[in-house]
Amino acid sequence: MQTSQQTDWIKPPFSLPQTLENFIDGQHQPALKAQTLDLYHPASGRQYGTLPESTAADVQFAVEAAQRAFPAWAALTAQARSAAMLRLADVMEANLELLAQAESFDNGKPVHVARTVDIPRAISNIRFFATAILHTSQEAHDSGNGVLNYTLRQPLGVVACISPWNLPLYLFTWKIAPALAAGNTVVGKPSEITPLTAYLFSGLCREAGLPPGVLNILHGSGASVGTPLVGHPQIKAVSFTGGTATGARIASIAAPQFKKMSLELGGKNPTLVFADCDFDTTVKEVARAAFSNQGQICLCGSRILVERPIYERFREAFVARVASLKVGDPQHADTAIGALVSKAHQEKVLSYIELAHAEGGNLLCGGEVLQPEGLEGGYFVSPAVFEGLDPWCRSNQEEIFGPVVTLFPFDTDDEAIHYANSTQYGLAASVWTSNLGRAHRVARELESGIVWINCWMLRDLRTPFGGVKSSGVGREGGWEALRFFTEPKNVCIQF
């Protein structure tokens, strides 16, 4: 793995690679056209390195490597594939601190979040699918009269896994793990904005002895490398997580070629707070659901609907809680809110804060650009809470994907459900109530792939994960992911 001299303006507590490379056929290499993009450290706004700007030529090279590796990888027993993936997970575990520091450095998130959430979860993704594959079975149907049908679930071949910048290694491995476990070979493309941990991960794959070509990682922008990857005729399936507009572009390329697609897209998630909730826990958890990872999680609850009898009490407690969240250096243990991921994203978030003002919103706290000492060029915005906005205005309809939420009151269950379902999105919702009957009723009515009752982002990797409406197509997680990455074949025997 290539490393170069540490930057003098900041001393990351790990050996920082400054020239990232693609990983093809088990080897690191620059893009064939030798073009690069700049990499930025969000907490200071300083450029720290470069990544390859790959093109269709690199896609061709990576797909060929993956095709060569496919027959042997697919022919391994499930136990052998599982063992190779478990070795990889062990090597990741041994490098947990390095990966956590790198994730925080590249993304701007607090390092304690990367250390306790992102990287442990990335390791669990690999372990989960490495062991899930040992417990799969394929269906058989005894049709009577001497006829037996059975279903073979075979790997697809070479698949593409494209992931976003908000939970970089966590979401990259969430796709790669089931694809590999099911016997496919992979060409992966992490976000150009946060490629560092995927680059380090490629080195760990080599260290763990993953056979060359089984996993190939291409870096670069969506336009330059993502598009030709999705359109490559030998790519059999595309697993994508990112924005809804990008998902639509990907679908327009992949669908006419009849590729399998799993699209995990945006959200504008409602949080429904009923007057009978456990008040103190709800205030704390709703703030966590709103602002974890600087509000840059597709599952964050950004439209907070509160039943009118407790609206004012909730608003007061919630705003006090949010205002107490410390915004600052991602390295500090008491930092709750780190830097936003990029200058462009900071500008997008600030433009939505301006829009919310223009739409008549009343800002209750936050929404300011902050400049922590020593990190004056960083992309920090304090968590913003608005009220007084119409549920159908743009601030309440469009995904901001940052630390901006709105509060509004409701009077009846039906009204809450109506507001909750009023956007084009349908990814996740949370419901806070002590009335069990109401919890079940509301959960059924919400147009959402996931509903959490009295909790948020409790994840069991066996459950189906994904959204409805413009939040996506298909489900990840557990058997859903293993089904996606295999092709069922019916075999019918008369004997």
Spell out the alpha helix ranges (H) of 152-195: 168-181
- Smallest gap from residue 319 Cβ to ligand NDP (A): 25
- Radius of gyration, CA atoms only, the chain: 23
* Length, in residues, of the chain: 495
d(CA 118, CA 104): 10
- Smallest gap from residue 354 Cβ to ligand NDP (A): 20
d(CA 399, CA 270): 12
d(CA 341, CA 190): 14
Distances (CA, A) of 182 to 130, 189, 315: 9, 19, 48
- Smallest gap from residue 81 Cβ to ligand NDP (A): 25
Footprint on this chain of ligand NDP (rule: CB under 6 A): 162-166, 189, 191-193, 221-223, 226-227, 230, 241-243, 246, 249-250, 264-267, 298, 399, 401, 427, 467, 471-472
- Smallest gap from residue 492 Cβ to ligand NDP (A): 38
- Smallest gap from residue 470 Cβ to ligand NDP (A): 10
Nearer of residues 225 and 365 to ligand NDP, judged by Cβ = 225
Which has the closest alpha carbon to 133: 141, 125, 122? 125
d(CA 143, CA 60): 45
Nearer of residues 81 and 189 to ligand NDP, judged by Cβ = 189
- Residues 37 and 44 sit within 8 Å (Cβ to Cβ): no
d(CA 238, CA 163): 11
Do the strands 269-273 and 235-241 form a parallel or antiparallel pair, or are they unpaired? unpaired
Give the residue numbers annotated as catalytic, written as ranges: 264, 298
User: CA-CA-CA-CA torsion for 194, 197, 200, 205, nearest 10 degrees?
Assistant: -120
Nearer of residues 242 and 391 to ligand NDP, judged by Cβ = 242
